[in-house]
Chain A
Amino acid sequence: MLKGIAASSGIAIGKAYVIREEENAINRYEVKDTEKEIKRFLEAILKAKEEIESIKETAVKNFGEEKALIFEAHLMILEDEEFKASVIEKIKQNINAEYAVKETVEMFEGIFLSMEDEYMRERAADIRDIGGRIIRALKGEEKSSIGDIKDKCIIVAKDLTPSDTAQLNREYVLGFITELGGKTSHSAIIARALEIPAVSGIKGATEILKTGDLIILDGVKGIIYINPDESLIDEYQNKIQREMEEKRELLIYKDRKVLTKDGKRIEVAANISSKEEVDVALKYGADGIGLFRTEFLFMNRETAPTEEEQFEVYKYVLEKMEGRPVIIRTLDVGGDKKIPYIDVGTEMNPFLGLRAIRLCFERLDLFKTQLKALLRASIYGNLKIMFPMISKVDEIKRAKEILEDVKAELKKAGQKFSDKIEIGIMIEVPSAAIISDLLAKEVDFFSIGTNDLIQYTLAVDRMNEKVSNIYEPSHPAVLRLIKMVIDNAHKEGKWVGMCGEMASDISMIPLLIDYGIDELSMSAPSVLKVKKEILKSVD
């Protein structure tokens, strides 16, 4: 058994298909007819261009313009004057085209790898990718790509590149195992959007696993078994069977409104981290988006997303949800998540440090850009804005002031925005729960973030195995705080949602309903299960 990170839930059993980046030996030989060799090189460039154009098209269709940008960069490199000139120069010295390309690629790769900037080092990978493609075209080889897979399998790779995932055929790909990447890597997001179980962060997976190995991939626990024994396979096969049956049975709840036995409406919503996940949320009958974590838009890149870029994403989500509520949380990052253009320095305790709203107050440029994009998108649906990690009244007042400043700026510029946007805060710091009577006067709603609230209340890091047994969602201190928050909000006529893991914990739901919770938000695949649980007491 190997343990990694649970990147996308679900179970898969199947044969491994290992994608190794093998360096085929490229030999140098002398060519006599250099003109003919140059022609061969230029033809290979054309072929590579056609290939990239077609991958780009598929990518645009499956994932939208934005994800296809990388291929735009690849095309530019293929057309690069200096690149071509350097290869042709070498061919003129009687070197064969393959070797000339290899040497030129290595030269540029060297330049980029020696640069300090991570953006530049990533470009080195693009050049290598392009070089490989030209050389394959020269040799008349077809790349063994994910697109060519014709049998059901579990893909094992170092990491999946956008050009891999763009060609992926959902019918054959049962799961992903990657060496790199966490929950927010490109491949993890794609996996969740396509509902393919995935485990990432398994070091050495492409070395340890062989194509044809039988694998059980458990995307819920983040573990894989290699060539497991019959009994384990049976156990998991039963699990898959049960899950499939359950899924089918649950679909009857998809379009049902959830009312408690007292006739109170409970909204069951989905948490998402990218616009790609909206379709999954809708498929499972989510009544809304209870939490859109926007930090993913800011990760894995060199500069912050522009106002326009963010606007497009928020607009897309709001339009797709067709008037259902969409709670978008403003940037929630801090010292534990490294973002190159947001440097908070080294902190002893990043979880108690400059993070979330505290960081946004320090980086008003980022904060205001996000608020502008949100306001502009608000006319396309039912937007609610939520601020994370509020711990005192002053903070929500300040956040609202900044929001008003941005509104004034937009008004001045003649830009439209909705005047019905609800404003809420996360309740995840014990101090916020304790003064929730005061905070309730400042906002339209609360959303209780149980993961952090439990951690901060019980002073326990749930990732720390030595103390994780003390992490106890049903600790009376936690339950008292939750009840207090709901009571205080209702006294002011405000509503309360919950977006932590507790929201989908079947054993806790009766209690939460009893406390008077108004909304529950969770990962999309749990929505139906929770709807069923609540309706069970009524049906």
Chain B
Amino acid sequence: MIERKVIIKNPTGLHARPASLLVKEANKFKSEIMINKGGKDVNAKSILSVLSLGVSNGDEIIIKANGEDEKEAMDAIINLIETFVE
């Protein structure tokens, strides 16, 4: 399993479109992907779970990936988060 910390810099945080893009991206991979905020892990492949985490601008989150394509998944998700501008 691999883990990476990332700070959310886009103004809306993981809301609305950014959240749905993230979930769609996560679903492209076989690995189990989790997002952790404040000690709580949620499934990154579930829009309801990602939204319920309430990640806002400036929050630090940890992405965890576990499985055969964990490295690719991690890179893709970190890259995506960095492109968020909304």
Interface residues of A (CB under 8 A from B): 72-73, 76-77, 80-83, 108, 111-112, 115, 117, 119-120, 123, 127, 302-303, 306
In angstroms, Cα B42 to Cα A111, docked, is: 14
Interface residues of B (CB under 8 A from A): 11-12, 15-16, 20, 23, 42-43, 45-49, 51-52, 54, 86
Q: Which residues of A contact B51 (CB under 8 A)?
A: 112, 120, 123
The one of A83, A117, A123, A303 that contacts B11, using a Cβ cutoff of 8 Å: A303
Contact at A82–B43, with CB atoms within 8 Å? yes
Contact at A82–B46, with CB atoms within 8 Å? yes
Shortest CB-to-CB span from B32 to chain A, Å, is: 11
The one of A72, A80, A115, A306 that contacts B48, using a Cβ cutoff of 8 Å: A80
In angstroms, Cα B46 to Cα A127, docked, is: 13
Shortest CB-to-CB span from A103 to chain B, Å, is: 14
In angstroms, Cα B20 to Cα A83, docked, is: 15
Given contacts A73-B20, A76-B20, A303-B86, contact A127 B12 (CB under 8 A): no
In angstroms, Cα B17 to Cα A306, docked, is: 12
In angstroms, Cα B26 to Cα A235, docked, is: 63
Shortest CB-to-CB span from A91 to chain B, Å, is: 18
In angstroms, Cα B23 to Cα A115, docked, is: 20
In angstroms, Cα B23 to Cα A127, docked, is: 17
Task: List the A residue with the shortest CB-CB distance to B20.
Answer: A76
Task: List the B residue with the shortest CB-CB distance to A111.
Answer: B52
Given contacts A76-B20, A115-B54, contact A127 B86 (CB under 8 A): no
Contact at B16–A303, with CB atoms within 8 Å? yes
Contact at B23–A76, with CB atoms within 8 Å? yes
Shortest CB-to-CB span from A76 to chain B, Å, is: 5
Contact at A306–B49, with CB atoms within 8 Å? no
Task: List the B residue with the shortest CB-CB distance to A83.
Answer: B48
Contact at A81–B45, with CB atoms within 8 Å? yes
Contact at A83–B12, with CB atoms within 8 Å? no
Q: Which residues of A contact B20 (CB under 8 A)?
A: 72-73, 76
Given contacts A108-B52, A112-B51, contact A302 B86 (CB under 8 A): no
A-B CB contact pairs (8 Å), 11 listed: A80-B46, A80-B49, A82-B46, A82-B49, A83-B48, A117-B54, A119-B16, A120-B15, A123-B51, A302-B16, A303-B16
In angstroms, Cα B13 to Cα A463, docked, is: 39
Shortest CB-to-CB span from A71 to chain B, Å, is: 13
Task: List the B residue with the shortest CB-CB distance to A127.
Answer: B48
Contact at A303–B12, with CB atoms within 8 Å? yes
Given contacts A302-B12, A302-B16, A303-B16, contact A77 B54 (CB under 8 A): no
In angstroms, Cα B23 to Cα A120, docked, is: 17
Contact at A81–B86, with CB atoms within 8 Å? no
Q: Which residues of A contact B42 (CB under 8 A)?
A: 82
Query: Of residues A72, A77, A82, A306, which shows the largest number of chain B Cβ atoms within 10 Å of its Cβ?
Result: A82
Q: Which residues of B contact A81 (CB under 8 A)?
A: 43, 45-46
Contact at A77–B16, with CB atoms within 8 Å? no
Shortest CB-to-CB span from B49 to chain A, Å, is: 5
Query: Of residues A72, A81, A108, A117, which shows the largest number of chain B Cβ atoms within 10 Å of its Cβ?
Result: A81
Q: Which residues of B contact A117 (CB under 8 A)?
A: 15, 54
Shortest CB-to-CB span from A223 to chain B, Å, is: 38
In angstroms, Cα B52 to Cα A112, docked, is: 6
Q: Which residues of A contact B16 (CB under 8 A)?
A: 119, 302-303
In angstroms, Cα B12 to Cα A116, docked, is: 14
Q: Which residues of B contact A112 (CB under 8 A)?
A: 51-52
Contact at B86–A306, with CB atoms within 8 Å? yes
In angstroms, Cα B52 to Cα A64, docked, is: 29
Shortest CB-to-CB span from A28 to chain B, Å, is: 23
Q: Which residues of B contact A76 (CB under 8 A)?
A: 20, 23, 47
Shortest CB-to-CB span from A413 to chain B, Å, is: 16
Contact at A77–B52, with CB atoms within 8 Å? no
In angstroms, Cα B49 to Cα A72, docked, is: 17
Shortest CB-to-CB span from B53 to chain A, Å, is: 10
In angstroms, Cα B50 to Cα A112, docked, is: 11
Task: List the A residue with the shortest CB-CB distance to B46.
Answer: A82
Contact at A77–B12, with CB atoms within 8 Å? no
In angstroms, Cα B37 to Cα A520, docked, is: 57
Q: Which residues of B contact A108 (CB under 8 A)?
A: 48, 52
Q: Which residues of A contact B47 (CB under 8 A)?
A: 73, 76-77, 80
In angstroms, Cα B50 to Cα A111, docked, is: 12
In angstroms, Cα B31 to Cα A529, docked, is: 66
In angstroms, Cα B17 to Cα A76, docked, is: 12
Q: Which residues of B contact A73 (CB under 8 A)?
A: 20, 47
- 9 more A-B contacts (CB under 8 A) besides A127-B48, A302-B12? A72-B20, A76-B47, A80-B48, A80-B49, A115-B52, A120-B15, A120-B54, A303-B11, A303-B86
Q: Which residues of A contact B23 (CB under 8 A)?
A: 76
In angstroms, Cα B51 to Cα A115, docked, is: 10
In angstroms, Cα B47 to Cα A76, docked, is: 7
Task: List the B residue with the shortest CB-CB distance to A341.
Answer: B11
In angstroms, Cα B20 to Cα A77, docked, is: 10
Q: Which residues of B contact A127 (CB under 8 A)?
A: 48
Q: Which residues of A contact B12 (CB under 8 A)?
A: 302-303
